[in-house]
Amino acid sequence: MAIHSTPVTDAVPAAKTTPKSSSLFKQSMRRLLRNKLAIFGLAVVVIMFIACFLGPVFSPYADNKIHMNVMNKAPSMKHWLGTDALGRDVLTRVLQAGRISLTVGLASMFLSVFIGALLGAIAGYYRGIVDQIIMRIADLLLTIPGLPLLFIFGALLSEWKVPTNYRMYIVMLMLGLVNWPGLARMVRGQMLSLREREFMQAAVVLGLRDRRKLFNHLLPNIVPLLIVIATLNIGGSILSESVLSFFGLGVMPPTPTWGNMIDAANNLIDFQEHPWLWIPPGFSIFITVIAINIFGDGLRDVLDPKQKR
Amino acid sequence: MGTYLTKRIIYMIVILFAASFLIFSLYALTPGDFISSNIKLSPERKAELREIYGLSKPLLERYGIWMNNVFHGDFGFSLAQQQPVLKLFNQYIWNSFLLAVISTFLTWVIAVIIGVVSAYKQYSWFDTIVMVAIFAAMSIPSFFIGLFLIKILAVDLKWLPPGGMLTTGSNATGWAYIKEVIHHMTLPVIVMTLLGVGSLTRYFRSNMIDVIKQDYIRTARAKGLKEDKVLFRHALRNALLPAITLVGFELPALFGGSIIIEKIFNWPGIGQLYMQSFSLRDYPLLMGFTMLLAILTVIGTLLSDVLYHIADPRVRLH
Amino acid sequence: MKDLIKIDHLRTHFFSDKNVVKAVNDVSLRVREGETVCVVGESGCGKSVTAMSIMGLIEEPGGKVVGGSIEFDGRDLLKLSKNELRTIRGNDISMIFQEPMSSLNPVLKIGQQIMEPLIVHQKLSKKEARARAIELIEQVGISRAEQIADSYPHELSGGMLQRIMIAIAISCGPKLLIADEPTTALDVTIQAQILDMLREFKKKSNMSMMLITHDLGVVAEMADYVVVMYAGKVVEEGEVVKLFESPKHPYTQGLLKSKPIINQRQDELYSIPGQVPNPLDLTDSCYFHDRCAHCMDICRTKQPVLKGVADQQKAACWLYEEAVVHV
């Protein structure tokens, strides 16, 4: 049986390298680098970011000027992905939209991870009444289906006449608020099991203060889990943003996002005759999200091997 | 088990109450309503109508009236459709159910088979392809893949109808009717299956991988059983066991319809009804729908728990 | 007595990213008809891997039998097709494991699990198999057999489950029974019962037994012949009484010394100094050299081979090599 061989092989490198504080991190990185698929995913994500944030700088069409003479032109050497109804270059628009979509994805991820981790950690650490209140709220929010909830928020934005250039920030806020309960649950579960572990008992025996226990001893232990969740969360947020914007309830034109660019498909003629208007942003979402998911999964294998897929 | 169940049910009811209040307040908070969005009405007529529908009363009172009606099995009256909400639900929900039940079935069958095979052949080229396909399926924006397939399969190749449940103006009956519905259903079912199959395959794959490493699988092999017996009788049963909890979680999806898919494919289901009512601000219907989903979610969670207790012989006795 | 199973120069390796672990490294041993051979050694010495190699259950990818032969009843098991080997497993060769609690499938009834090999190998009908299963449950000393057949593993104790495992193992009348630490996970009182039962079945059906253990008490009680393994190699083997009376290899001597003996209380229990070598950096040396009190220069540079050192006793140790001058 392999039982005899595997623990030994695993234990060897750990015993050989000196147990410096960074060695665990270095080890993880080394293992990550060996996972070719994950590295490929990371490379795609990085390229996507660079293209979206730097690409438009080199585009001659970045000013978004209206050119009535080149309306709805199919892809050509001059306009690689064609032009839209106002004669704007679609490739440039896709890259500019990517900036917004990626920013919204990242920002709402940070927000939901921050709220979720904080509330989950507090609930799991203090337990009792605090735990009860936080988790009941989380339960409640999980009961109400996410999409209708987002739709209501989106409708509120429209009714309140929020200026379009602010909507982007509010969409981030919305996605962050809808996503935290699941996260808080997971972090709380981790905290509860960590609390019972020996090193925590030791901290109790040493009489460390609550805040120190929480921040110095417990939180560092859930950081690997958080990194993994956070990574996978970006993909989910990008998808949610695109759905909302597609239905006209998220970020609205003229601010371009991948989701609201696909809105072109709601126009029958554009849908049938001008597929270059809506297919490229769709594929951009797909490629970005799949790359993030593959990378996130590789990270999980490295950082959090116990976690079930 | 008895007291546990009672506790769970009481908690469930409390959560539903809280959810109902939250849902009500959210919709009440949303400015604008069905009447004010109708530009044909004079201000006097609007005020009159508000009075009739009880929209001018304070929030809490309106909530009380709504809840009271809900308890009497009345989810309100759709302003846009001029029909009771429940009657509308009954009319549309079965169309949603048809799509959901078929695609859920396909999703499970495909996920179990592929999951088992790829777990058994872990690290093979087949497994690698499956893993990439799983990530792909999990990363597709649902509305985009719907549009994309309509464009290719319906618009360009004309193999399948682009949407709806029947051809416009069709009065087919009997077999012809069924054939027509199946024809229209194919594309949305493909898309829904595709969207669901990724995460479920991954779930079964990882469950199987865990199970295959267990001692009792070694015992089964040591007994000289055929590999298919080992896999499907000994391993799969154990891998399916935790999946039973998922059956409960499928409940909202089965009856709640899919807002996005039904909208894209113009399928006359409850999700599509929701989208229509949303643009009209038909609050009774919107609240009813959201409440329905909340109820289904809560019941589903409870069902999962109960099913798990029934299915696992280790838990059953205690 | 005829050889029932003869393992020659078996080598089973485990491959990870860059490393190769030679879990079984050139092991030869045999079990004759009606004989009980005990394979002794510390955990990780390759005794279980040897057993799994016989069963053809080394898990791929990762593990692989890379050399040698396992001759059973005149056929080389390593050359058989998967299907041929399968018809031998559970039928002519059966096996019981260390952890009875996890060795039975939690979601299948006990009766069903005993019936399976009967249906596969003996081609019994379901009804016949069930009747036979109930007989077997009675044979392993469990009353209320009908009721037990319809219960699930979690409803029985560890000792009962190990009896069930024995019932499964003997169901098809095997010629060889491999028992991998069958009593390690059980209470002491149960251990004796299980060992008695194994001995009784062995006597009744004249089957051979390969008993893997680290417990020298079990060896003394059960074995006809003993094989001592260390770091994937056989370091000593011999007839049980002789080996216990005059162990030759320093490792065997150490093992016997570390076993406490009643009425001879020592101030401190003996233990062999040092640790089992890391299987990854084995060099061309006697693997035991850094723990050996008699270590010589040659032990560090050259591996000793297994040679006859006394009547019915072999050891792999430079101490018994005539060419080497003793200090």
Task: Identify all chain A residues contacting C62, using CB atoms and an 8 Å cutoff.
Answer: 2, 5
- The ipTM estimated for the assembled molecules is 0.88
The separation between CA B65 and the C-alpha centre of its own chain, rounded to angstroms, equals 29
| Domains of chain C: total | 1
Taking an 8 Å cut-off on Cβ atoms, the answer to whether C154 and B314 are in contact is: yes
**pLDDT tens digits along C61-76:** 788 899 899 999 889 9
Taking an 8 Å cut-off on Cβ atoms, the answer to whether C108 and B237 are in contact is: yes
Q: Which chains touch A (3 or more CB pairs under 8 A)?
A: B, C
* C107 closest CA partner among C138, C148, C151: C151
Among A52-56, A304-308, B204-208, B240-244, the range with the most confident prediction by mean pLDDT is B204-208
> Is residue C135 in some structural domain?
no
> Is residue C18 in some structural domain?
yes
Averaged pLDDT of chain C: 88
**Taking CA A265 as the corner, what is the angle to CA A260 and CA A268, rounded to the nearest 5 degrees?**
140
Whether domain A90-299 has CATH 3.40.50.300: no
Unique residue bearing structure tokens 């304070």: B58
| Whole-structure pTM value | 0.83
Q: How confident is the model at residue B29 (pLDDT cuts 50, 70, 90)?
A: confident
Where chain A has pLDDT below 50, the residues are 1-21, 307-309
Unique residue bearing structure tokens 């109804």: A85
> Is residue C189 in some structural domain?
yes
Q: Which chains touch B (3 or more CB pairs under 8 A)?
A: A, C
| Distance in Å, alpha carbon of A5 to nearest chain C alpha carbon | 7
For B53-100, what is the HEC assignment?
Answer: HCCCCCHHHHHHHHHHHHHCCCCCEECCCCEEHHHHHHHHHHHHHHHH
Q: Give the mutation candidate from B216, B218, B230, B240 for the C interface (greatest C CB count, under 10 A).
A: B216
| A275 and chain B in contact, CB less than 8 A | yes
Rounded Cα distance between B50 and B36, Å, is 9
In this prediction, residue B110 carries a pLDDT of: 95
**pLDDT tens digits along C290-324:** 888 888 888 888 888 888 888 888 888 888 876 55
In this prediction, residue C262 carries a pLDDT of: 64
Q: Mention every residue, 6+ apart, whose C-beta is less than 8 A from residue C244.
A: C220, C256
Q: Higher confidence at residue B138 or residue B28?
A: B138
Q: Higher confidence at residue B187 or residue B73?
A: B187
| A205 and chain C in contact, CB less than 8 A | no
Rounded Cα distance between B25 and B7, Å, is 27
CA dihedral B39, B44, B46, B50 (to 10 degrees): 170
Residue C264 has pLDDT above 60, yes or no: yes
Rounded Cα distance between A197 and A202, Å, is 9
In one-letter notation, the amino acid at residue A234 is: I
Residue C205: CATH number of its domain: 3.40.50.300
In this prediction, residue C110 carries a pLDDT of: 94
Q: How confident is the model at residue B144 (pLDDT cuts 50, 70, 90)?
A: very high
Looking at chain C, how many residues does it have?
A: 327
> Is residue C153 in some structural domain?
no
Task: Identify whether B284 is preceded by a cis peptide bond (ω within 30 of 0).
Answer: no
> Is residue C21 in some structural domain?
yes
In this prediction, residue A195 carries a pLDDT of: 74
In this prediction, residue A7 carries a pLDDT of: 34
Taking an 8 Å cut-off on Cβ atoms, the answer to whether B31 and A160 are in contact is: yes
Distances (CA, A) of B285 to B79, B212, C266: 8, 49, 86
Looking at chain B, how many residues does it have?
A: 318
Taking an 8 Å cut-off on Cβ atoms, the answer to whether B260 and A242 are in contact is: no
| C99 and chain A in contact, CB less than 8 A | no
Residue C294 domain boundaries: 3-92+174-261+268-320
> Is residue C316 in some structural domain?
yes
Q: What is the DSSP string of A43-58?
A: HHHHHHHHHHHHGGGG
Residue C280 has pLDDT above 50, yes or no: yes
In this prediction, residue C265 carries a pLDDT of: 60
In this prediction, residue A6 carries a pLDDT of: 33
Nearest Cα residue in chain C from B237: C107
Taking an 8 Å cut-off on Cβ atoms, the answer to whether B147 and A151 are in contact is: no
Averaged pLDDT of chain B: 85
> Is residue C243 in some structural domain?
yes
Q: Higher confidence at residue C66 or residue B174?
A: C66
Q: Exposed, middle or buried, C292 (CB in 10 Å: 0-12/13-18/19+)?
A: buried
Nearest Cα residue in chain B from A308: B206
Q: Higher confidence at residue B234 or residue B76?
A: B234
> Is residue C225 in some structural domain?
yes
Task: Identify all chain A residues contacting C16, using CB atoms and an 8 Å cutoff.
Answer: 5-6, 9
Q: In chain A, where does DSSP find H-type helix? A: 6-16, 23-34, 36-54, 90-126, 128-143, 146-159, 164-195, 198-205, 210-212, 219-246, 258-262, 268-273, 279-303
Taking an 8 Å cut-off on Cβ atoms, the answer to whether B238 and C87 are in contact is: no
Q: Which neighbouring-strand residues pair with C15?
A: C20
Phi, psi of B163 (to 5 degrees): 175, 180
In this prediction, residue A62 carries a pLDDT of: 72
* A172 closest CA partner among A86, A114, A224: A114
